[in-house]
Amino acid sequence: MCDLKYCKSSTLDVIENDIVEVKTVWPKRKVKTSEFHINWAANGEARFHEHCWTQIISSIKRNIRSAFKFSSQEKTLVKEAEKTAEFRNAHKKIIEEAKRVSDLIKSSEHCVAFTGAGISTSAGIGDYRGKSGKWTEMDQNEIDVDHLLSDRIEHTPSKKAKLQTEEKDKDMEETEENGVAYEALRPTYTHEALQKLMTDGYLKYIISQNGDGLHGLSGVPGDKISELHGNVFLEICEKCKRQYNRPSYVMDDVGSQYFEELDDNGKTDIKKPKYAVKCKKCGLSHRTGRKCESKGCSGYLQDSIINFRDLLDDHIFKQAEINSEKCDLMLCLGTTLTVTPASDLVEKIKKPQQYVICNRQLTDKDSACSATDKDGNVLGSRIFGDCDAFFKELMKNILDAGELKKWESERSDRMKVYDSQRTQA
């Protein structure tokens, strides 16, 4: 059901309707919901037809007439909800775009995929933006909406809100991506589809912002991917630079937490591991506690993860840059294209620039997807929705029916291979 009370066709049909999902910061004090125009859920969530959401946003803008008027209180809730909006195209549109994108891929000479957290959400990893994203939840925990509803102009997070944020940070440090162990993660339909496209020669390279190791687990060769932000299964010797791909999570979170608490609080109850060394850039510890196995080396091994303030690996970034410059079709999947310098790579593709973007949030490159050539043909495609849903339709147009059926039926066998490559808890 559409949560706009005045919607004339309240039914939300995922086949026929474009849908928007949002989540606002719900006030702790009582408010008169009977005066609201939106049927907000108890947790602040709501779903709408896209045209209804557009009408809502237009209604809270100045000098725009509307069939109904929002109270100042509900305007505040809508403005907070707007920051979290996730869009989902009607499935019939996804089917249409999948057919068109398959033609773009088949005619491309150097197709590159640029991937973000959104392609791993169905594997159990939370994303960062959107109504339930990690950064969204942290941002919302800092908002004292009761203060905003009091109509004061200035806003400073309350002491209670700050404490809640600190507790949220701690909770996230104590879990592995929403409580799912990295070793338990398996490639999604999208990961496997990208690997298949690469095997069949359609996809030439992958640039990934993810550190979950799922591209490699799916079978993507190491020389066909740039993992810009590292890989939680990869260790590198700090002396000879030998690399070790492990079947289990390699990072030493104890050492990092020791330095983090010391910086934040000036003290900590955590015992510092003997091998831990504070990184001058990110302030954490990259050492894993193991040493290099190369004869005559015995250097300490480090994780490969790029933390905030760390610099990207020059060689990895250079390979990504080279492939971006060769690229004539870039598939931007599960990313809002906001993290630099990684996102700067999408600007380097050949002209006329062809982009296919599939995710649930808006990006700054959305308009580029509708650019046209000299004959008026649309160069790219913009799909709002889950990557798995899109790729299931896309592969129907890439593979013939028999090959598709065989490839999809073999997923259970591939899962056994994945299981053998990860340490079981």
Angstrom distance (rounded) from CA 83 to CA 71: 19
Show the beta-strand stretches assigned E in 186-240.
Answer: 203-208, 225-227, 234-237
Distances (CA, A) of 71 to 31, 37, 58, 60, 172: 11, 9, 14, 9, 36
**Beta bridge mates, 105:** none
Letter string b/e over residues 301-332, b meaning 16 or more CB atoms within 10 A of that residue's CB: bbbbbbeeebebbeebbebbbebbebbbbbbb
Q: How many residues can be counted in the chain?
A: 425
Angstrom distance (rounded) from CA 198 to CA 230: 21
| Residues known to be catalytic | 229
Angstrom distance (rounded) from CA 172 to CA 236: 26
The angle formed by the CA atoms of residues 205, 207 and 211, to the nearest 5 degrees, is 130
- Pair 227, 313: CB distance under 8 Å: no
Q: Which helix (H) or strand (E) holds 53?
A: helix 50-59
